[in-house]
Each structure stands twice: as structure tokens, then as C-alpha cells.
Amino acid sequence: MTKAVDFRKIINEFNSDIEIIKEFDRHILSIVVKDSHIEVICSFWGIITEFMNEGNLEYSDAILKVMQLDNNNDTKRSDVTYFFYDDQPNPQLN
């Protein structure tokens, strides 16, 4: 059995001032800790699906919501770079 990794805890230990976008918490697949920043790899399909289900959104609207989430100049997020793993189940969506 695989144990779930608490990526937020690892990131907070690296730098307690860093804040991960709340909506991405459950969909982090891995992190890469570098000297000056952290790279967070998220499940694209997981985030999109959650937005579609929670907000009763169409696929395109959910993608727009993801694009707008990190569109601010919050200094707590400046040390984090988000990458999305393309794990969509339907090849026609890719």
C-alpha cells in the first residue's frame, strides 16, 4: 500500500512563507525542491475534474479558471512554479 505524501508539509519545512494554491493541494503529484524555488507538479485532469464537479462548469470554463488562479502578484507564491502533468483520460481532449 502506498502512503499518501503530505506535500504541503514538505514545502512548509523548506520555506514556511511559501503558500500553495489551495485548490491544487490534493492534486500534487510530486515536488522538486531547488535552491531558490520549488517546482510543483500537479495532475491537470484532477484539478479540471474537481472544478467541473464543484462549480458545474464546462471543460473550457474549468481550464479558464485554472489559468486565472495564479494570475496575481502574491509574493508568497513567487518561489513556486506550477507544472501540470497531462493525464487526461480521453486522448481527444489532449
For 65-90, how does the pLDDT look when each residue is reduced to its tens digit (9 = 90+)? Answer: 888 876 555 555 667 888 888 777 76
Calculate the CA 40 to chain-centre distance: 7
- The pTM score is 0.72
Whether the CB-CB separation of 30 and 12 falls below 8 Å is answered with no
pLDDT of residue 76: 58
